[in-house]
Amino acid sequence: MNHKIFKLSLVVTMLVFTSCIKEKKADEPSNKMETSKIYSGKAMTHDYDQKIDSIIVQMTLEEKIGMLHGTSMFTTSGVERLGVPELKMADGPLGVREEISRDSWAPLGIDTDFATYYPAGGGLSATWNPELAYLFGTSVGEESRARDKDVLLSPAINIIRTPLGGRTYEYFSEDPFLNKKLTVPFIVGLQENDVAACVKHYAANNQETNRDFVDVQIDERTLREIYLPAFKAAVVEAKAHSMMGAYNKFRGEYLCENSYMLNDVLRDEWGFEGIVISDWAAVHTSVNSLNSGLDIEMGTPKPFNEFFLADRLLDSVNAGKISEKEIDVHIKRILQVMHTLKRMGGEDRAKGSINTEAHFKDAYDIAAESVVLLKNEDELLPINAESIKSVAVIGHNAMKKNALGGFGAGVKTKREVTPLEGMQNRLPESVKINYAEGYQERYAPKKESIFGEVT
Residues 302-334 pLDDT 10s: 899 999 999 999 999 999 999 999 999 999 999
**Domain around 380:** 3-21+373-454
Of 150, 194, 279, 295, which is the active-site residue? Answer: 279
pLDDT of 196 above 70: yes
Residues 227 and 328 in one domain: yes
Domain end call among 340, 359, 387? 340
Taking alpha carbons only, the member of 248, 330, 247 closest to residue 68 is 330
Position 428 in a domain: yes
Q: CA 341, CA 193: separation in Å to the nearest integer?
A: 8
Per-residue pLDDT at 9 = 39
Q: How confident is the model at residue 26 (pLDDT cuts 50, 70, 90)?
A: very low
CA atoms within 13 A on the CB side of 452: 15
In the chain, the percentage of residues whose pLDDT exceeds 90 is: 73
Residues 382 and 254 in one domain: no
pLDDT of 200 above 90: yes
Residues 393-410 pLDDT 10s: 998 889 888 765 566 678
Residues 247-264 pLDDT 10s: 999 999 999 999 999 999
Residues 325 and 187 in one domain: yes
Q: CA 273, CA 270: separation in Å to the nearest integer?
A: 9
Position 35 in a domain: no
Residues 283 and 414 in one domain: no
Name the residue type at position 368.
A
Position 41 in a domain: no
Residues 307 and 400 in one domain: no
Residues 336 and 379 in one domain: no
Q: CA 314, CA 149: separation in Å to the nearest integer?
A: 28
Domain end call among 340, 357, 387? 340
Position 367 in a domain: no
Domain end call among 317, 340, 363? 340
Whether 279 is catalytic is: yes
Q: How confident is the model at residue 361 (pLDDT cuts 50, 70, 90)?
A: very high
CATH number for position 96: 3.20.20.300
The chain-wide mean pLDDT, for the chain, equals 89
| CB-count burial class (<10 Å; 0-12, 13-18, 19+) for 433 | middle
Residues 377 and 276 in one domain: no
Position 192 in a domain: yes
Residues 228 and 313 in one domain: yes
Question: Is the full-model pTM beyond 0.75?
Answer: yes
Residues 54 and 13 in one domain: no
Residues 279 and 426 in one domain: no
Residues 56 and 17 in one domain: no
Q: How many CB atoms lie within 10 A of CB 318?
A: 11
Per-residue pLDDT, averaged over 35-62, amounts to: 91
Per-residue pLDDT at 164 = 82
Position 26 in a domain: no
Residues 323 and 225 in one domain: yes
Position 248 in a domain: yes
Position 353 in a domain: no
| CB-count burial class (<10 Å; 0-12, 13-18, 19+) for 105 | exposed
- Provide the number of structural domains found in the chain: 2
